[in-house]
Structure 1
Amino acid sequence: MPISQAFFRRTNLLLLAAGIAALIAIVASSLWLTLATERNFDDVVGAREVRSASADLMSLVQDAETGQRGFLLTRDRAYLAPYTDAVARLDERFRRLSAAVGGLPDIGPFVERLQTAITAKLAELSATVAMAESGDFDGALAAVRDGRGKALMDQARAGFASILERSEAALVAAIAAQERTSLWLRWVTIIGAIVILGLAGAATWTILGYTTEIMAARKELEGLNVGLEERVRERTDALVKANDEIQRFAYIVTHDLRAPLVNIMGFTSELESTFKPIEAYVDAQGAQAEVLRAEAETALKADAPEALGFIRSSTRKMDGLINAILKISREGSRTLKPARVALDAQLEAAAAAVHHQASETGGGITIDAKVDSIVSDKFSLDQIVGNLLDNAIKYRAPDRPLAIVARTRNARSGWVAIEIEDNGRGIAAGDHERIFELFRRSGTQNTPGEGIGLAHVRTLVRNLGGDITVRSEFGVGTTFTILLPADLRTVKRSSQT
């Protein structure tokens, strides 16, 4: 189906709108997924910060406890350095942990309980260190041995473990969400690319199709321009031939139809003369009637039937001529029905219809179809090929088996040639054009016929927009070549414009 300019414009506008909509959707989805990825990344960083701050805080508490134990056991103040450093940095590390859990509200209560445990633990550590600095090492060690410091440290460790467990869960959830978001972003990119490529492909297909049709139309127009002079010449030739046909037809009407009419008129006068002896015999009396009787009998039994016979023969000839003219006239005005015709099947069917007649001579019919099909009027083709095969059989050479070849070939661009070749008795060079005239025959007339077959064939061929020619050598054979358009519909369109 040809692509109209309106369809091309409408389709490309729709494809452009769809492409813009798809692009907007892809960009919006990508932005939203990118923001989601950033949020998930922030959650991952926050969870890791909680883990890092918790570990640092736990390490400081352990350093403080280690410094306390070392000082109490060795009574060397050098071991108080880790304790002193841890106590100095503890508030800052705790603020870092509190800030880190701001994005994880479910960890807040555990941080509060941890702060309570650490405060109590620091108070226990501070009290034992103060006792040892005052010289009461035994009291300080006794305070450590009572287990309260261990219990507080266990509470702190439990708090750290709870915070680490929940931060780990938050980290895993954030990583999973980030992976899902990345997957969605990947699929949006892939699907968007496929949609964009599909729309681009559809637009490209439409543009290429439209461009191809424009190029084909331009090429056809160039071909039409190049072949315009040739078509004008062909049309001129066709008009000349049609004018010749009209002149020949007028000659037939004025000559061939007039001849039997003159015969009828002449024999009618003779018939009138024939009845005069009869009238005289009827009017005569006596001996004179006997004298006129013989003449009356001759006129009645011989002259009158002869005249009537000639009149009847002339009227039959006139009837045949008129019927032939009417047949050709009706064929020229018949509505053609263009359809796809398989030429090989067409020739084989026509050959099968006359095969028994050809085989009677010891010969046969060969099909050589080099063109698959044409668009033409099947009924007309049947009559054309059938008439030519009948003629080949009718005018065969009696001294050799009949050999007929029916072939098809490409004649030139847009045209197909059908050839019917035989090895019959041939046609004299002077009769090559005469045989296509109405009521004209060539050679010895030893077969029945009225001389309308080839005239009818030429009318059929020209009605299909083609022409028929003959090549023949007397005593060797004859080849009829039918040149037809490959598509009758183009001829009809041309004739209508």
Structure 2
Amino acid sequence: MSAPFRFNSLANLWARARSGGLDWRSLALVLAGFVALLAVNAVSIWAADALSQQSAAVLHARDVRRALDATERSIVDAVAAERGFLLTGDRSFLQAELEARTEAQAGFQRVRELLQGDEEQLRRLDDSRALLDEGMAMTAQVVRDAREGRFTQALAVVRSGRGAELLNDIQTRFDEIDQAARDRLVERQRGAARAQRLNLWLSTLGTVLILAVAGLAIFQFARNFQTIIQARDDLDDANRDLENRVVERTRDLTEAHEEVKRARDRAEAMLREVNHRVGNSLQLVSSFITLQSRTIEDAEAHAAFRATQARIEAVSRVHRQLYTSGEMGRVELDAYLTSLVEELRQSLCAGEDACSLSVEAEPLTTSTDRTVAVGVLVAELVTNAVKYAYPESKGEIRVRLTRDGETAARLTVEDDGVGVKEGGAPPKGTGLGKTIIAAMARDLRTDVAYVYGPVGLTASLTFDL
């Protein structure tokens, strides 16, 4: 059996890793692969945001162009209705002219709403407002003069050419607004293209580093496997040598027996050391490729790995949740906690004497950062309950998430375990879990309240959504 694994310090952990064959170059390669994965993830989110902004810019430019075209058509329709009434005297053109002027004003307002927040574009649009008002007033005056019999005045206004000048000026201003929107769209398209190229390069680099880490893990395993084979060969040689000694030196049987015993002790010690190295190498392989070893014999090491896996699962599960979510910035907290607790149940509450882990969560949504903090808190509190609440048996652990007012939520993790008797002290661990819980609570801008009783422990906190 290998020596028990105890994490006392980073120096101790590094010494045990060195004994398994890990050097600084290997560690640097692993860290580089991990950093590359984080960079690929961040750039992928950035690229997705750039593509989303590009899509929004395309739609916005299209809407602006359509609104400008509709306004121009309404102005032209008003002028056409004015000329139709002036030439034919048909009063049906009066209603058409009024509707066209109304639609032109409404179209202008629609363009203004689309350009809200863009001061430069609004300035261009407002510069054309006086031209629009003058043109619509001129059209209304021509119609009014014609309707009241002042045809000479009406024709004079039409022949002055001022209406055509106003229409050309308005079209020019509208074209400037449309061109500015198109120029910004081109800038966003270039930014999205740059993001895609950077994402491709980083993805390629991350893949290469992951393959290198996998190759390093295979190399470590192969080297230790070769050590095992060599140890077995040495043991066989030692046994053959001992057998020859027994045959040749019968009178030294007692001494030969002691020599065999010593040889066997050496062989067993060698095998124990080989097994120790193999265990360390498998733990490194499991850490580098994110596969949790489920064959560790040491209980403390197994619990530490399970707790680490729970923390990693609490963070990795938010992403899976965003991808599948249509809204990247918000997470369905109830669905996230349900899936997280299911993972914790499989990893922490397995076996014949398994604990009972349940979750009740109201439908709530919150930001990605708060979801990560809540997930890590739940993982730590559930892990502590499994470790300390039921030391001699297994019982029920309940996770509850409820709404607290309009903008807050309340999280509770409780058990029916041994609790703390009057005058007693809470169970003590390594202190790492408490540090993580306190850090996550600070991220949520709250504190965790513990209520110890003679039966059970309740941990609760209230945080803003």
- Pairwise TM-score range, normalised by the shorter structure: 0.3 to 0.5
Q: Who wins on radius of gyration, i.e. which is larger?
A: 1
Bigger relative contact order, structure 1 or 2 (CA pairs below 8 A, ≥6 apart): 2
TM-score w.r.t. structure 1 length?
A: 0.42
